[in-house]
Structure 1
Amino acid sequence: MGFPVDLRRCQALGLAGTVFLALGGETAGALPAHDFLAPGSVQAVLGLVGVYFGVVLLIAAWVLLGGVIGGPEPPTPRSLLLVLAVWAAPLLLAPPLFSRDVYSYLAQGAMVDAHIDVYAYGPAQLGGPLADEVAPVWQQTATPYGPVFLVVASVLSALTRGQLPAGLLGMRLIALLGVALMAAALPRLARHSGADPAAALWLGALNPLVLLHLVAGAHNDAIMLGLLGVGLVAARGRWPVLGVVLITLAALVKAPAALGLVAVVALRSRGRGPRAVLRHTVTTATAAAATTVAATAAAGTGYGWIAALKTPVSPHNWSPTSLLGRVTGAALDQLGSGLAPFALPAWHAAGLLVTAALLLFIWLRLRPGPVYALGLSLAAVAVFGPAVRPWYALWGLFLIAAAAPTGSVRTRVAAASAVLALTVLPSGAPADGEQVILAVSGGVLALVVLWQAHQAARPQSPVRERTA
């Protein structure tokens, strides 16, 4: 007999993981400048070990919970939502983890509140303590986010009056709202796609990436995915226009959600002729355009967000195409070629062409269900785009979780999620050798504890008395 597993034990193990995450983050997270500790200090070392100890416990709890869901008595979606709430609770008051992007959000909101054009200037134009918290690489960078998110950030800035603790808490609550919308949409999308709602919640909402990056990291991808999910639910039901409005609002947070409009047309015209496709395309485009005009006018930030969509192409970003561009550029530079400066743009263009080809293949040749097709499309955008972050994987994963046709797909996606959950330091800074060793030590310590618990839970073989 192996490690005893049930819903309650999984819930307790995952809670222990997020408690260690929150406690470790107090000294090793993406802390404000006045709370920053030197990486080699005792507190920072213990914090980094503790964070990765917690990450591995959380991953283990999630994997074991997947086994419970696939067992003879799977939990209900409602009980899984309770598990999600319990796991997320310790992270609510924790410092930002795995990224400093939340400071950029707050600075951009303050810029809008101060009537500074965020599509022309970076946070350095704002100045002051809040702007100082933004990572140096983004100090001079215009925002790539749409007017809907900027309105949210501006309102939060006005409410908190630039106070950092209140702003961080407010941004995390906004992210939690997005996660709640994701969790509400997943079971409904799964039923529509013929998938198991509990399995969809497990992969798409209880996923460690959601807790680490949408909750602990407070990324605005949570709002984008939440609006996209409920928009798809509305579009496949009785409120298709409302669905278009919600999906357009999601795209006005982050642009990739605009692909959801293609899914709306596919959902509404599925099994019908070309005239129905044309009619729903016109209706969807009209509603999306009207929503865009109205939202942009209400925000008062103008249409600079269209030109700012190139911001993720910053040379500081990492992605497969960026890596190939840098390697190619370095090789050409060594050869003395004048083509070296064109290597990075050329590879980015190649990535866009590959993405376009994949999207055409998915929608015109592969033709899976609309929700699954959208998930695959967003995954392609994340992988072959000019910038890759671990939380970008959630763009496609969220909808693949809702509509994956086979268990093998879920297994592969889950394995990738577990690996990605281990790839970023809690400070959000680039890793050095010493920090990697400490992070690995924390993870190994968690594995040792889990193994000891497994051994202790095994029934002992009875000792047979020797007979003379």
Structure 2
Amino acid sequence: MGFPVDLRRCQALGLAGTAFLALGGETAGALPAHDFLAPGSVQAVLGLVGVYFGVVLLIAAWVLLGGVVRGPEPPTPRSLLLVLAVWAAPLLLAPPLFSRDVYSYLAQGAMVDAHIDVYAYGPAQLGGPLADEVAPVWQQTATPYGPVFLVVASVLSALTRGQLPAGLLGMRLIALLGVALMAAALPRLARHSGADPAAALWLGALNPLVLLHLVAGAHNDAIMLGLLGVGLVAARGRWPVLGVVLITLAALVKAPAALGLVAVVALRSRGRGPRAVLRHTATTTTAAAATTVAATAAAGTGYGWIAALKTPVSPHNWSPTSLLGRVTGAALDQLGSGLAPFALPAWHAAGLLVTAALLLFIWLRLRPGPVYALGLSLAAVAVFGPAVRPWYALWGLFLIAAAAPTGSVRTRVAAASAVLALTVLPSGAPADVEQVILAVSGGVLALVVLWQAHQAARPQSPVRERTA
């Protein structure tokens, strides 16, 4: 008999993991400038070890919960939603973790509130304490986000009057709302796709990446995915136009969600002839265009979001195309070639071509179910785009979780999720050797504790009495 596993124990283990995450983040997270601690300080060292101790505990709880979900008496979706709420609770008041993007969101909201064109200027134009919290690499960068998110950020800025603690809490609550919408949509999409609702919730909502980056990191991808999910639910039901509106709003948070409109057409015209495809394409296009015009007018930010799709990415981004571009550029530079500056743009263009080819293959040749096809498409956009972040994996993962046709697909996606959950430091800053060693130490300590618990739970073999 191995480690005793049931829903209650998984819930408690995951709660311990997120509690350590929150506690460690108090000294090792993406802290405001006035709370920043030197990386080598005792508090920062203990915080970093504690965060990775918590991450490994959370991953272990999630993996064990997956076994319960696949077991003979799987938990109900409602009980899994309770587990999600319990795991997320300690992160509600924790400092930002794994990224400083939330500070950019707040600064951009304040810029809109101050009538500064966020599509022409970076946060440096705002100035003041809030702009100072934005990472230096993004100080002069215009926002890449759509008008719907900017309205949300602007309203939050007005409500909190630029106060940092209130703004951070507000952004986290907004992200939690997005996660709640995701969790509400997953079982419904799974049933429509012939998948197990409990397995969909386990992979798509209780995933460590959701807790680490959408809840703890408060990324606006949560709102994008939440609107996309409920939009697909509405589109396949009795409110197709409402579904188009919601998906368009999701795309006006972050552009990749616009691919959901293709899924709407596929959902509405599936099994019907070319006329139905044309009719639903026209209806979807009209509703999306009207929503776009209305939302952009209401936001008052103009159509600068179209040009913002070309917003530059970090020079140190680790997407495949950016990595190949840097390597090629360095090689050409060593050879003295004048083509070196064109290497990165050329690889980014190649990535876009590969993405387009994959999308055509998925929708025209592979032809899986519309929800699964959308998940694969968003995964391709994330992998071959000019920028890759661990939370971008959630774009495709969310819908793959809802519609994956086999358990083996879920197993591979889950393994990738566990690896990605370990790739970013809680401060969101680039790692050095010392920090990597500390992070590994925290993870190893968690494994030791789990192994000791496993050994303690094993029944002891009876000691045979020696006979004279």
Q: TM-score range by the shorter chain?
A: over 0.9
Partner SS, residue 313 of structure 1: coil
In 1, the alpha carbon distance for the partners of 2:309 and 2:328 equals: 25
Alignment of 1:175-324 (within 5 A): 175-324=175-324
C-alpha spacing 1:179/1:58, structure 2 compared with 1 (3 Å): same
Asked whether the 8 Å contact 2:137–2:314 carries over to 1, the reply is: no
Q: CA deviation at 1:317?
A: 2.9
Unaligned residue ranges in structure 2 (runs of 5+): none
1:53-91 CA-to-partner distances (Å, cap 9, x unmatched) read 000000000000000001111000000000000000000
C-alpha spacing 1:204/1:376, structure 2 compared with 1 (3 Å): same
Alignment of 1:448-467 (within 5 A): 448-467=448-467
In 2, the alpha carbon distance for the partners of 1:281 and 1:312 equals: 32
TM-score by length of 1: 1.00
Asked whether the 8 Å contact 1:312–1:387 carries over to 2, the reply is: no
Asked whether the 8 Å contact 2:5–2:68 carries over to 1, the reply is: yes
TM-score by length of 2: 1.00
Q: CA deviation at 1:142?
A: 0.2
1:38-62 CA-to-partner distances (Å, cap 9, x unmatched) read 0000000000000000000000000
Q: CA deviation at 1:314?
A: 4.6
Asked whether the 8 Å contact 2:193–2:403 carries over to 1, the reply is: yes
Residue 43 of structure 1: aligned partner: 43
Residue 414 of structure 1: aligned partner: 414
Asked whether the 8 Å contact 1:103–1:133 carries over to 2, the reply is: yes
1:213-233 CA-to-partner distances (Å, cap 9, x unmatched) read 000000000000000000000
In 2, the alpha carbon distance for the partners of 1:237 and 1:145 equals: 29
Asked whether the 8 Å contact 2:3–2:454 carries over to 1, the reply is: yes
Asked whether the 8 Å contact 1:137–1:316 carries over to 2, the reply is: no
Q: CA deviation at 1:316?
A: 4.2
Asked whether the 8 Å contact 1:180–1:226 carries over to 2, the reply is: yes
Q: CA deviation at 1:467?
A: 2.0
Residue 399 of structure 1: aligned partner: 399
1:311-332 CA-to-partner distances (Å, cap 9, x unmatched) read 1545343311001001100100
In 1, the alpha carbon distance for the partners of 2:158 and 2:19 equals: 31
Partner SS, residue 231 of structure 1: helix
Q: CA deviation at 1:466?
A: 1.8
Residue 352 of structure 1: aligned partner: 352
Asked whether the 8 Å contact 1:30–1:98 carries over to 2, the reply is: yes
Partner SS, residue 341 of structure 1: helix
In 1, the alpha carbon distance for the partners of 2:58 and 2:320 equals: 28
Asked whether the 8 Å contact 2:321–2:385 carries over to 1, the reply is: yes
Asked whether the 8 Å contact 2:382–2:392 carries over to 1, the reply is: yes
Residue 433 of structure 2: aligned partner: 433
Query: Structure 1 stretches (4+) deviating beyond 4 angstroms?
Result: none
How many residues align? The count is 468
C-alpha spacing 1:314/1:29, structure 2 compared with 1 (3 Å): closer
CA RMSD of aligned residues (A): 0.5
Asked whether the 8 Å contact 1:17–1:54 carries over to 2, the reply is: yes
Asked whether the 8 Å contact 1:96–1:216 carries over to 2, the reply is: yes
Asked whether the 8 Å contact 1:26–1:94 carries over to 2, the reply is: yes
In 2, the alpha carbon distance for the partners of 1:247 and 1:317 equals: 28
Q: Percent identity?
A: 99
Q: CA deviation at 1:239?
A: 0.1
In 2, the alpha carbon distance for the partners of 1:388 and 1:361 equals: 22
Partner SS, residue 322 of structure 1: helix
C-alpha spacing 1:171/1:90, structure 2 compared with 1 (3 Å): same
Partner SS, residue 430 of structure 2: coil
